[in-house]
């Protein structure tokens, strides 16, 4: 058994039943072979064993009262994974699928994603198994306040700065920030993704979607190509997907799909983005209502999806942007995309492709932007929000967007150059993993055994 295999085996013993976490760890560690062979310092310093264990894991109950006066109880998490490069930074996810394994996989990915930005931020993640869908504003406020009653003890502007994620937008951030201020008496930048009225950054809600498309453009530019005229499959219908579609249109491409919990929407002439924004404002409507305005579009319910995959990836397109959730793109989906002529995949969600799907993309030699590189624009802009809060300034949309574009370009160059350094030209998975790992690991070594 190799050193890496032994580490993964030990992890499965000490952290049982955390499938997504194992998947994220295996994806990173299996890329590190060339680096570990070239320098044994990482093994001597036990960096692998140290980096796969969070510095701190916080789990707590969240009691709250619904509109009927009934007491509800959810479970909350904050995984403070690694602070070698700066305060913990990573989103909060409110979704019924949340458990310890989900949060740990997200936190582990966040370490390297944040490292790739070149900014001074560590990796963390949090959330709760609460579903805001169908809940009143009053219920969401009471839940967020109860969540913050515990979380406030563990966060701070130089300690841990959470942001939003699935199920956590400006509304939820506002309720949590208000409760933090009430509990501590301090008005400080302890959350990002805030309203523009009180410390939020322009371009923050657009950042992950825009950044994913910028990364795709940089991949194509390396090949002497661009997105103009490309037909693109996009999954999801939240901020990431919506603003990925917006940027695709701005760059001359045509997004032809999106999806939500009700199913997949395909419109061969191009998605009406203004209508999608209206339908999804306040998370009110399912995508099936799109057919009222465009009966020629196709809506496939989840129950009718292919047995081993997702309907959205079975349409012909030039490029794919998975922007919904983890493991939404399977091996069968990857093979369907390749068969139908897809030449580029840029990931807007966290770990949306299974490891088998990733292997298929790499073997086919298409342009593939892994999530820790391609969707880092959101956390990068969160750090820009932190910088604005610390300096009590507010930057223009253009200024933030220009910085976002440069950060995404730097990430692409770092991943691409590292892949070339280890004889794997074009393998951005290996390049991103080694570049991110090396920055964190070297910082850990310099800071001692802590």
Q: Quick one: average pLDDT of 87-102? A: 97
Tell me the per-residue pLDDT of 319-372, one tens digit each, with 9 for 90 and over.
Answer: 999 999 999 999 999 999 999 999 999 999 999 999 999 999 999 999 999 999
* pLDDT above 70 coverage of the chain, percent: 99
Q: Quick one: average pLDDT of 2-14? A: 88
Confidence at residue 283, expressed as pLDDT on a 0 to 100 scale? 62
> For residues 142 and 64, is the Cβ–Cβ distance under 8 A?
yes
The answer to whether position 66 is within a domain reads: yes
Domain boundary, last residue among 330, 365, 400: 365
Domain that holds residue 267: 205-365
> Does 230 have pLDDT greater than 90?
yes
251 and 349 fall within a common domain:
yes
184 and 217 fall within a common domain:
no
172 and 218 fall within a common domain:
no
18 and 128 fall within a common domain:
yes
Alpha helices in 19-99, H assignment, sequence order = 19-29, 33-38, 41-44, 47-51
Residue 20 sits in a domain of what CATH number?
A: 3.40.50.10860
The answer to whether position 16 is within a domain reads: yes
211 and 355 fall within a common domain:
yes
Confidence at residue 280, expressed as pLDDT on a 0 to 100 scale? 87
Structural domain tally of the chain? Answer: 2
> Does 173 have pLDDT greater than 70?
yes
227 and 181 fall within a common domain:
no
The answer to whether position 413 is within a domain reads: no
The answer to whether position 229 is within a domain reads: yes
141-150 burial code (b ≥16 CB/10 A, e <16) = bbbbbbbbbe
The answer to whether position 254 is within a domain reads: yes
Tell me the per-residue pLDDT of 236-270, one tens digit each, with 9 for 90 and over.
Answer: 999 999 999 999 999 999 999 999 989 999 999 99
> Does 282 have pLDDT greater than 80?
no
Confidence at residue 281, expressed as pLDDT on a 0 to 100 scale? 80
Tell me the per-residue pLDDT of 191-212, one tens digit each, with 9 for 90 and over.
Answer: 999 999 999 999 999 999 999 9
> Does 284 have pLDDT greater than 90?
no
Task: Look over the chain and give the mean of its residue pLDDT values, rounded to a whole number.
Answer: 96
Confidence at residue 5, expressed as pLDDT on a 0 to 100 scale? 85
Catalytic residues: 125
What order of strands is seen across the sheet that includes strand 71-82? 56-65, 71-82, 122-128, 88-94, 160-164
Tell me the per-residue pLDDT of 393-438, one tens digit each, with 9 for 90 and over.
Answer: 999 999 999 999 999 999 999 999 999 999 999 999 999 999 999 9
30 and 108 fall within a common domain:
yes
Residues sharing a CB contact under 8 Å with residue 14, sequence separation 6 or more, in sequence order: none
Token couple for 150: 């515990």
């Amino acid at each position: 058994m190799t050193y890496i295999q032994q580490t993964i085996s030990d992890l499965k013993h000490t952290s049982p039943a955390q499938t997504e976490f194992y998947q994220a760890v295996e994806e990173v560690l299996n890329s590190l072979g060339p680096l570990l062979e070239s320098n044994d310092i990482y093994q001597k310093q036990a960096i692998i064993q140290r980096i796969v264990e969070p510095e701190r894991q916080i789990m707590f109950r969240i009691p709250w009262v619904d509109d009927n006066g009934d007491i509800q109880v959810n479970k909350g998490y904050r995984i403070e994974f690694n602070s070698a490069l700066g305060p913990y930074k990573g989103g909060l996810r409110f979704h019924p699928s949340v458990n310890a394994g989900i949060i740990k996989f997200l936190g582990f990915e966040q370490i390297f994603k944040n490292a790739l930005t070149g900014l001074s931020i560590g990796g963390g993640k949090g959330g709760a198994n609460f579903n805001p869908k169908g809940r009143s504003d009053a219920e969401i406020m009471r839940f967020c306040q109860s969540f913050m009653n515990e979380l406030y003890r563990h966060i701070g502007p130089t300690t841990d700065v959470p942001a939003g994620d699935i199920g956590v937008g400006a509304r939820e951030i506002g309720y949590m920030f208000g409760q933090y201020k009430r509990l501590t008496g301090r008005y400080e930048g302890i959350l990002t993704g805030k309203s523009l009225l009180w410390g939020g950054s322009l371009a923050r809600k657009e950042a992950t979607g825009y950044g994913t498309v910028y990364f795709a453009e940089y991949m194509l530019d390396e090949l002497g190509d661009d997105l103009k005229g490309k037909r693109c499959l996009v999954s999801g219908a939240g901020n990431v997907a919506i603003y990925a579609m917006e940027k695709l249109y701005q760059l001359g491409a045509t997004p032809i799909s999106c999806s939500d919990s009700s199913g997949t929407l395909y419109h061969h002439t191009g998605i009406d983005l203004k209508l999608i924004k209206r339908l999804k404002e306040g998370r009110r409507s399912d995508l099936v209502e799109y057919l009222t305005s465009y009966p020629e579009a196709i809506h496939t319910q989840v129950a009718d999806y292919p047995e081993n995959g997702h309907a959205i990836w079975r349409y012909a397109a030039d490029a794919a942007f998975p922007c919904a959730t983890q493991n939404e793109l399977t091996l069968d989906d990857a093979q369907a995309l390749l068969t139908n002529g897809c030449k580029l995949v840029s990931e807007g969600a966290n770990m949306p492709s299974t490891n088998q799907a990733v292997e298929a993309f790499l073997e086919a030699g298409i342009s593939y932007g892994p999530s820790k590189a391609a969707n880092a624009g959101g956390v990068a802009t969160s750090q820009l929000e932190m910088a604005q809060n610390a300096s009590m300034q507010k930057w223009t949309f253009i200024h933030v967007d220009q910085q976002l574009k440069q950060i995404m370009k730097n990430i692409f160059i770092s991943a691409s150059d590292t892949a070339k350094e280890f004889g794997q030209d074009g393998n951005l998975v290996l390049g991103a993993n080694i570049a991110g790992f090396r920055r964190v690991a070297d910082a850990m070594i310099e800071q001692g055994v802590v």
